[in-house]
Structure 1
Amino acid sequence: MATLLQVLPALERGGVERGTVDLARFLKRAGHRPLVASAGGGLVAELEADGITHLALPLASKNPLTIWQNAARLGELMRRHRVELVHARSRAPAWSARIACRRAGTPFVTTVHAVYGGYDYRLKRRYNAVMASGDRVIAISDYVAEHVCEVYGIGPEVLRTIYRGVEVGEFDPGSVSPERIAKLQAQFQVPPGRQVVLLPGRITRIKGHLLVAEAVARIARDDFVVLFVGPDTPGSSYSAELHAKIQALGLAERVRLVGGTGDMAAALVLADLVLAPSIGPEAFGRVSVEAQAMGKPVIAADIGGLGETLLPATTGWLVPPGNAAALADAMDLALAMPAEARARMGEQARAWVREHFTAERMCRQTLAVYAELLGARA
């Protein structure tokens, strides 16, 4: 049994945070003693309900003085709990953890969850470089791994690619009750008899909402509705621009912003087609994977790590980023698919996710990385 500490800024709801919780639970089931340090958040209660210790530290702070103070605090916690390995998932906590680990001679692992901007600037590049300074460096996609290798010179002896995973028990169409689906239909005010096209994700420019509106305007058929499902920032300039675009194109009945949901699995069951049309590089493509886990075909932009998440013409379609005409053609093709063909694509998508993108697989591969540094203890 090994005592293994993960550090991250906070434990609010998000992909990085969910992966942290999934790994902590897996480590406990495997007989280890997982610890998580963060500034706290909504997932702390979930961790503690499973008997996993959370250590509260102000790790979200980027203040250099706080980072140094956190290094001392982490060092003390590592001694008290006899931590044998530390795994950092974000830059500010990674600096504190790196200092503490170097002082204690403790193995240090990082996971690079993004291609961080500003690496052309010396100070920013130096700040970002901590994520490439682990004894092992995990990248969440080949796209991220290539970036880390190119920018920071990390070689294959240190670098490992481990895709993020989803809980296939949670993202299983058979686990979603009709009541949950009916509740969302009412909440989203889905018109009867319409196919549903879903774009999950926060309302930000990179997610491609404007591009989708342009694509919908090119499609002649009117038997579908597009739902933008995700939190919006009231008063944001992008949100205002998006609303204006929808009105200008006469799409108010075909494209709608419906807000966020705490039940994404049910939202995906409701969908006939899921979009991931990002206009800028994504490190991975969690939406694409979750949708395929639910047996839904996906149209994704072939950019960043998104292209690694599906099998073109088998589980979905890849389109050139920023190309409204190509997106419209793919949407038209998908919406015209016979039910049998769509069901077959859905089964292939579920099999693809079960083979490559489960939380169990992610956790087992991460534990194998720990074992490289700890030997038989992991």
Structure 2
Amino acid sequence: MKFLFVGTNQENTGASTHFVTLAQAMEEAGHQVGVMTCPGGLIAQELARSHVQVDNAMFRNAYDLRGYARVFAVAKRTKPDYLVGNFGKEYWPLIAIGRLLGIPVALFRHRIPPMKRLSAYLLPRLAHRFFAVSNYARQAYLDRGVPAERVHILYNPVNTTRYRPDRQQRSTILRTLGIDDEAIVLGYSGRMFAGKGIFVLLEAATKAMEREPRLHCLWLGDGPDLKALRDRVAALPTAHRHRFAGWIHDIAPYYSAMSMLAFPSLAPETFGRGSIEAQAAGIPVLCSNIGGLPETLLPGVTGLLLPPGDVDAWRDAILKTCEPSFRLPMGSAAREYMLARFSTIVIATQFVGILTDS
């Protein structure tokens, strides 16, 4: 099949990473893929590593006529079998262009907050395929009146070649961070925001460190509560066992440095991409039992589901995962689970199957 993906979002979001990985997955599966995106953004930078054909475009908003003209011209010239969109400002332009050219449109929705009433009603009905990225998200759309037959589920794909166990990379990263090879590293990657559960995780990790001297914390990311988090860490007697690496563009090598990844969100997540990336790298995950996160792991096999905000439960889970006899088999199972359920070839096959199912 021939696809034209349109995504001019410049932000470093999970939706942008999904857009890139899905486009690459379709190209790797043997399909012809073109992408229209803005130069210099995350999408353009990531796709520069692949063989996907990239054209420049920009939608400042849904009324940007220059964006319409640019996408219309490329779609008319390349004649794709499907137009694919990930971002709200391009939903209506793709619907309009698809109707004018007779090209079906597939739209992905990554957020739970409702669209404007008219868009929420019409877009799932006008798109040929409308996708949620988790059962949790799908149910939220159904609860707002979208017909069940109009909402399909396609999980985020993960590149299991890029995200994989790498012992040599682990040693290199730990050495760079000044952490001993024998350390047990609890990782967090994401936005530094209280709603993500970072302060709950800090409290739980601090209690766990009192009983496990090898335990260290690696904090990756940026956000409005980063300074408050660093200030709290600085006041702890275990401050020397915390590392802040900031926002990392290519996080893949850093998963290898972790012994476990924590996803301690207090508010529902639509999915939880970091969970599947870490598991693909052979790292067990500790996830809040909320939103779409439970769909990213096999509880008790590839990771643990924990009550959001329960410091003692998180402390106990961290300590349990510090035990090699528990952690190492879980990491191996996590890698196998990702290969079978979330790898690019699996998701690409499912995507085509949904698109061609009459």
TM superposition score normalised by structure 1 = 0.84
Deviates more, 1:45-54 or 1:161-170: 45-54
Any gaps of 5 or more consecutive residues in structure 1?
374-378
Number of aligned positions between the proteins: 354
Q: Which amino acid aligns with 1:95?
A: W
**Which residue of the partner structure matches residue 320 of structure 1?**
307
Matches within 5 A, 1:174-193: 176=166, 178=168, 180-191=169-180, 193=182
Deviates more, 1:25-34 or 1:81-90: 25-34
Mapped pair 1:78 → 2:75 = yes
Q: Summarize the Cα distance change of 1:96–1:308 in structure 2 as closer, same or farther, 3 Å threshold.
A: same
**Which residue of the partner structure matches residue 366 of structure 1?**
351
Which of 210, 213, 235 is equivalent to 2:199? 210
CA distance in 2: counterparts of 1:29 and 1:334, whole angstroms: 35
Mapped pair 1:161 → 2:153 = yes
Q: Summarize the Cα distance change of 1:189–1:89 in structure 2 as closer, same or farther, 3 Å threshold.
A: same
> Could you give the per-residue CA deviations for residues 206-237 of structure 1, whole angstroms, max 9, x where no partner exists?
3221111121233331321111122x25xx4x
**Which residue of the partner structure matches residue 24 of structure 1?**
23
Q: Give the SS at the match of 1:98.
A: helix
**Which residue of the partner structure matches residue 289 of structure 1?**
276
1:51 CA displacement: 4.2
CA distance in 2: counterparts of 1:340 and 1:281, whole angstroms: 31
Q: Give the SS at the match of 2:300.
A: coil
1:332 CA displacement: 1.9
Q: Give the SS at the match of 1:253.
A: helix
Q: Which amino acid aligns with 2:55?
A: L
CA distance in 1: counterparts of 2:48 and 2:249, whole angstroms: 21
Q: Give the SS at the match of 1:153.
A: coil
Q: Summarize the Cα distance change of 1:69–1:271 in structure 2 as closer, same or farther, 3 Å threshold.
A: same
Q: Give the SS at the match of 1:109.
A: strand
CA distance in 2: counterparts of 1:245 and 1:48, whole angstroms: 40
Q: Which amino acid aligns with 1:358?
A: S
CA distance in 1: counterparts of 2:277 and 2:80, whole angstroms: 34
Q: Give the SS at the match of 2:116.
A: helix
CA distance in 1: counterparts of 2:205 and 2:2, whole angstroms: 52
Aligned residues of 2:121 and 2:146 also touching (Cα < 8 A): no
1:24 CA displacement: 3.2
Q: Summarize the Cα distance change of 1:344–1:181 in structure 2 as closer, same or farther, 3 Å threshold.
A: closer
Q: Summarize the Cα distance change of 1:45–1:190 in structure 2 as closer, same or farther, 3 Å threshold.
A: closer
Aligned residues of 1:139 and 1:162 also touching (Cα < 8 A): yes
Q: Give the SS at the match of 2:103.
A: coil
Q: Give the SS at the match of 2:357.
A: helix
Which of 310, 321, 346 is equivalent to 1:334? 321
Q: Which amino acid aligns with 1:143?
A: Y
**Which residue of the partner structure matches residue 227 of structure 1?**
218
1:46 CA displacement: 5.5
Which of 289, 313, 317 is equivalent to 1:302? 289
CA distance in 1: counterparts of 2:258 and 2:156, whole angstroms: 23
1:277 CA displacement: 0.7
Q: Give the SS at the match of 1:172.
A: coil
Question: RMSD across aligned C-alpha pairs, in angstroms?
Answer: 2.6
Aligned residues of 1:213 and 1:255 also touching (Cα < 8 A): no
**Which residue of the partner structure matches residue 4 of structure 2?**
5
Q: Summarize the Cα distance change of 1:248–1:13 in structure 2 as closer, same or farther, 3 Å threshold.
A: closer
Which of 91, 106, 115 is equivalent to 1:94? 91
> Could you give the per-residue CA deviations for residues 332-366 of structure 1, whole angstroms, max 9, x where no partner exists?
2222x2x2332222222222212211121111111
1:250 CA displacement: 4.2
Q: Which amino acid aligns with 2:155?
A: Y
Aligned residues of 1:316 and 1:345 also touching (Cα < 8 A): yes
1:74 CA displacement: 2.4
**Which residue of the partner structure matches residue 36 of structure 1?**
35
CA distance in 2: counterparts of 1:50 and 1:250, whole angstroms: 46
1:25 CA displacement: 3.7
**Which residue of the partner structure matches residue 376 of structure 1?**
none
1:86 CA displacement: 0.8
Q: Summarize the Cα distance change of 1:258–1:3 in structure 2 as closer, same or farther, 3 Å threshold.
A: closer
**Which residue of the partner structure matches residue 128 of structure 2?**
135
Any gaps of 5 or more consecutive residues in structure 2?
none
CA distance in 1: counterparts of 2:278 and 2:143, whole angstroms: 31
Q: Give the SS at the match of 1:102.
A: helix
**Which residue of the partner structure matches residue 141 of structure 2?**
148
CA distance in 1: counterparts of 2:2 and 2:181, whole angstroms: 54
Which of 185, 189, 204 is equivalent to 1:200? 189
Aligned residues of 1:111 and 1:138 also touching (Cα < 8 A): yes
**Which residue of the partner structure matches residue 266 of structure 2?**
279
CA distance in 1: counterparts of 2:167 and 2:206, whole angstroms: 34
Aligned residues of 1:3 and 1:85 also touching (Cα < 8 A): yes
CA distance in 2: counterparts of 1:188 and 1:130, whole angstroms: 51
**Which residue of the partner structure matches residue 347 of structure 1?**
332
Q: Give the SS at the match of 2:163.
A: coil
CA distance in 2: counterparts of 1:205 and 1:258, whole angstroms: 18
CA distance in 1: counterparts of 2:327 and 2:248, whole angstroms: 25
> Could you give the per-residue CA deviations for residues 67-108 of structure 1, whole angstroms, max 9, x where no partner exists?
x54334322332222233211111001121112112333211
1:33 CA displacement: 2.6
CA distance in 1: counterparts of 2:163 and 2:239, whole angstroms: 31
TM superposition score normalised by structure 2 = 0.88
CA distance in 1: counterparts of 2:48 and 2:69, whole angstroms: 24
Q: Summarize the Cα distance change of 1:125–1:248 in structure 2 as closer, same or farther, 3 Å threshold.
A: farther
